[in-house]
């Protein structure tokens, strides 16, 4: 049977008190609506309709072609929002998930179980519910003796008996698609808010003698709808715990999960160890047997097996197998390190390739460069890549040696096996196996230091007189 999804993402989110549209607020590095859309796609929904309103352009810009869109120009309630999708999917046969774009903690496993129950009962609708010790503020799910749902009652409308019910409506549903849109046509706005509520569909289906079921999630965090910064923080905490637990189950050692931040899209191989104070975000992939941290910050980077990163920052960088980075290194976008490369303390690399076995051990800047295999770059050496107007490339070929405090003025090329003497400023290319030296010959002036001191003393005496 065809599976469809309607994601409600049209609300303004005034309680967030933010210039950023609510469903675009990130949880573990990914906007909430991104989490929700990924989840419905994981359960094989063939069409995903996102209902947009406030901030429509921003939401569409983020989601791109991964969804279809309908516009709710006026926010007249959840029922009205779903009804906007009728022109796209109203004639489809199948099961439709309706889910809010601010519920990032709903899992694909739960949605799958919700749909399986829905289909096994041949239900017109199935509600995702949760049991809460303190259900205040949530709509209560009222069941018949046979377990079917007969009503969803909002907190303000509860009788004392209904108020004692601990099963709450999470706002996520499965519907028989045809019956959903038939019932939506019967929903009215005869209420204090003059809005069309999706929950009214449940009552309409029950009155039509249709079966409405409920699936109880065992994780109450899935019921969190993020409406303010407090709920956003709570969702972040739950998501972080899920992510670190998933990685640990898959064979990753996380020394202190409470002080480790791992984004939702990060991939980490088995037997990798993550030390405290580490942030791994974006679409980062880390291989097996790596050592990351303490104090590492890695974003949108790819690390192969057996990589070590300590007290360093990597952004859109790549590191080959057996490479070590840090402490206190900064790999900027475009950095590509081969296998068994060493990048040491206080080294900055930008838009540069270092091939297998090369070393930049300390206090160097390598920018806009192509460095070959087994190259040694000494302390304080830099590629001078910018003349104030243009950036140029430095090339250093295999087995070259760059001495300490060397300035390579780009564009320049150092050939295979060439040797650049410490302290040189190189403005012309160096051929294979040549030695380059570019500094004045040392001259020692006998006794001259005493003359300098005497002049200084005499000047100070004159000033005092």
What are 209-240's pLDDT values in tens digits?
Answer: 999 999 999 998 999 999 999 999 999 999 99
Residue with tokens 């018949």, as numbered in its chain: 144
Q: Pick the catalytic residue: 25, 247, 311, 362?
A: 362
Q: Are residues 25 and 110 in the same domain?
A: yes
Highest mean pLDDT among 51-55, 186-190, 247-251, 455-459: 247-251
* 448 inside domain: no
Residues 29-44: what's their mean pLDDT?
97
Rounded CA separation 435/440 (Å)? 16
pLDDT higher than threshold 90 for residue 266: yes
Q: What is the DSSP string of 158-192?
A: --HHHHT--EEEEEEEEEEHHHHHHHHTT----ST
CA angle 45, 50, 54 (to 5 degrees): 165
pLDDT higher than threshold 90 for residue 418: yes
Strand, helix or coil for residue 418: coil
What's the predicted TM-score (pTM) here? Answer: 0.89
The answer to whether 449 is annotated as binding is no
* 356 inside domain: yes
Q: Are residues 259 and 303 in the same domain?
A: yes
The answer to whether 37 is annotated as binding is no
Categorize the per-residue pLDDT at 371 as very low, low, confident or very high, splitting at 50, 70 and 90: very high
Rounded CA separation 99/175 (Å)? 11
Q: Are residues 284 and 427 in the same domain?
A: yes
CA 36 distance to own-chain centroid: 14
pLDDT higher than threshold 90 for residue 411: yes
Rounded CA separation 335/183 (Å)? 57
Dihedrals φ, ψ of 309, to 5°?
A: -135, 120
Q: Are residues 13 and 158 in the same domain?
A: yes
Identify the DSSP state of 15. G
Q: Which residues contact 61 (CB under 8 A, 6 or more apart)?
A: none
Range of the domain at 342: 251-436
Categorize the per-residue pLDDT at 355 as very low, low, confident or very high, splitting at 50, 70 and 90: very high
* 42 inside domain: yes
* 461 inside domain: no
Q: Are residues 301 and 194 in the same domain?
A: no
Q: Are residues 67 and 150 in the same domain?
A: yes
Contact between residue 65 and residue 167 where contact means Cβ atoms under 8 Å apart:
no
The answer to whether 293 is annotated as binding is no
Q: Are residues 319 and 408 in the same domain?
A: yes
Q: Are residues 135 and 271 in the same domain?
A: no
Q: Are residues 214 and 267 in the same domain?
A: no
Q: Which residues contact 330 (CB under 8 A, 6 or more apart)?
A: 312, 313, 347, 348, 349
Residue 259: the pLDDT is: 97
Categorize the per-residue pLDDT at 361 as very low, low, confident or very high, splitting at 50, 70 and 90: very high
Q: Are residues 265 and 134 in the same domain?
A: no
The answer to whether 48 is annotated as binding is no
Q: Judge whether 362 counts as a catalytic residue.
A: yes
Residue among 4, 126, 101, 3 nearest 51 (CA): 101
The domain boundary, picked from 184, 208, 223, lies at 223
The answer to whether 11 is annotated as binding is yes
Q: Are residues 340 and 280 in the same domain?
A: yes
Q: CA of 104: how far to CAs of 27, 247, 284, 368, 409, in Å?
A: 8, 19, 20, 40, 51
> Which CATH number does the domain housing residue 310 bear?
2.160.10.10
The answer to whether 385 is annotated as binding is yes
* 229 inside domain: no
Strand, helix or coil for residue 232: helix
> How many independent structural domains does the chain possess?
2
CA 323 distance to own-chain centroid: 24
The domain boundary, picked from 183, 204, 223, lies at 223
The answer to whether 22 is annotated as binding is yes
Residues 70-96: what's their mean pLDDT?
95
Q: Are residues 203 and 318 in the same domain?
A: no
Contact between residue 295 and residue 314 where contact means Cβ atoms under 8 Å apart:
no
Rounded CA separation 387/181 (Å)? 65
The answer to whether 376 is annotated as binding is yes
Rounded CA separation 151/354 (Å)? 65
């Amino acid at each position: 049977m065809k599976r469809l999804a309607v994601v409600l993402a049209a609300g303004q989110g005034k309680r967030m008190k933010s210039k950023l549209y609510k469903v675009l607020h990130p949880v573990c590095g990914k906007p909430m609506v991104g989490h929700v859309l990924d989840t419905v796609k994981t359960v094989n929904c063939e069409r995903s309709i996102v209902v947009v309103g406030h901030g429509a352009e921003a939401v569409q810009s983020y989601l791109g072609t991964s969804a279809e869109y309908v516009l709710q120009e006026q926010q007249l309630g959840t029922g009205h929002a779903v009804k906007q999708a009728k022109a796209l999917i109203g004639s489809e046969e199948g099961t439709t998930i309706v889910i809010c774009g601010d519920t990032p903690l709903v899992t694909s496993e739960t949605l799958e179980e919700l749909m399986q129950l829905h289909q096994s009962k041949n239900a017109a609708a199935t509600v995702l519910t949760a049991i809460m010790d303190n259900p205040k503020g949530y709509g209560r799910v009222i069941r018949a003796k046979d377990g079917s749902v007969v009503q969803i009652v909002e907190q303000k409308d509860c009788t004392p008996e209904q108020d004692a019910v601990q099963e709450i409506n999470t706002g996520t549903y499965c519907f028989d698609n045809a019956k959903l849109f038939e019932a939506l046509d019967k929903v009215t706005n005869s209420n204090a808010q003059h809005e069309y509520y999706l929950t009214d569909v449940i009552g309409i289906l029950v009155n039509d003698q249709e079966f409405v079921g409920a699936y109880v999630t065992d994780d109450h965090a899935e019921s969190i709808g993020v409406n303010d910064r407090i709920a956003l923080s709570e969702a972040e905490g739950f998501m972080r715990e899920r992510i670190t637990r998933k990685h640990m189950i898959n064979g990753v050692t996380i020394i202190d999960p409470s002080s480790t931040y791992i984004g939702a899209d990060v991939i980490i191989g088995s037997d990798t160890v993550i030390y405290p104070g580490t942030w791994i975000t974006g679409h980062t992939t880390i291989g097996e047997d790596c050592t990351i941290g303490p104090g590492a910050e890695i974003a949108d980077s790819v690390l192969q097996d057996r990589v070590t990163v300590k007290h360093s920052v990597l952004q859109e960088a790549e590191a080959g197998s057996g490479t070590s980075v840090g402490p206190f290194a900064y790999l900027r976008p475009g950095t590509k390190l081969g296998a068994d490369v060493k990048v040491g303390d206080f080294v900055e690399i930008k838009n540069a390739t270092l091939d297998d076995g090369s070393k930049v051990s300390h206090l160097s800047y390598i920018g806009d460069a192509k460095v070959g295999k087994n190259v040694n770059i000494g302390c304080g050496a830099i590629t001078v890549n910018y003349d104030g107007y243009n950036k140029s490339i430095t090339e250093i070929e295999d087995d070259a040696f760059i001495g300490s405090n060397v300035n390579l003025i780009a564009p320049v090329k150092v050939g295979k096996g060439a040797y650049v003497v410490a302290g040189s400023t190189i403005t012309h290319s160096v051929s294979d196996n040549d030695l380059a030296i570019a500094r004045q010959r040392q001259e020692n002036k006998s006794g001259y230091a005493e003359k300098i001191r005497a002049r200084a003393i005499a000047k100070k005496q004159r000033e005092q007189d």
